[in-house]
Amino acid sequence: INIALISIIGIVTNYTFESTMFLAVFIIMRSFTGGYHANTYVKCNLVTSISFVILLLIFKIIRHVSLKSIILIAIFQVVTIVLLAPIENKNKPIENRTVYKIISTVLSVVLSAISIVLIIKGVDLGLIILLTLALVSIFIIYARFMKRGDFL
């Protein structure tokens, strides 16, 4: 349902390629990083859809952001993933944390590099990739604080 909802939002907002890129990056990264998991299926669909809409709004606002800002976003998400991922969920246990850590770190660095090159070349999908990585990082941070009981 999440894939269908994001695809529909992409079609309605005329961001079809962007929604496909979001889904690809989001699903792949979350598979290895973990992060916030909603406690109900409806809440999961709602959080993912709202997050994607917010990501599109941010994308539209900061489409022509400076290279310095892009690099700061990339550093933020790489550091977050290196330091905090993977985050285990009771419904999604991680069998080998070290392997997931390595894969998530490599994916984070490679996808950041690709996004920066695309952005420099003027390809908008690069910013979608980078913003999606930042969203994954935010979900990781939120999940880490929730595990500690710092957030409700």
pLDDT at 150 over 70: no
Give the model confidence (pLDDT) of 136-146 as tens digits: 999 999 888 87
Mean pLDDT value across the chain: 89
C-alpha distances in angstroms, 72 versus 19, 32, 101, 138? 23, 23, 22, 14
pTM over 0.85: yes
- Predicted local distance difference test score (pLDDT) of residue 102: 95
Distances (CA, A) of 104 to 78, 88, 114, 121, 124: 9, 13, 15, 25, 23
Q: Spell out a b/e string for 112-130, using b for 16 or more CB atoms within 10 Å of the CB, else e.
A: bebbbebbeeeeebbbbbb
> How large is the average pLDDT for residues 95-118?
94
Mean pLDDT value across residues 28-50: 86
CA distance 143 to 99: 20
> 2 pLDDT band (50/70/90 cuts)?
confident
Per-residue confidence (pLDDT) for residue 107, from 0 to 100? 97
- The CA radius of gyration of the chain, in Å to the nearest whole number, is 15
Residue located via tokens 């529909």: 8
- Which pLDDT score is estimated for 149? 59
Of residues 92 and 57, more confidently modeled:
57
User: Taking 70 as the threshold, does the pLDDT of residue 52 lie above it?
Assistant: yes
At residue 88's C-alpha, the angle toward residues 85 and 93, to 5°, is 130
Mean pLDDT of all residues in 89-101: 82
- Give the number of residues written for the chain: 152
Residue 152 confidence (pLDDT) = 43
Q: Where are the domains of the chain?
A: 2-148
Decide: helix, strand or coil at residue 134. helix
3-state secondary structure of 123: coil
List C-alpha distances in Å: 31 to 48, 54, 55, 121.
Answer: 15, 22, 20, 29
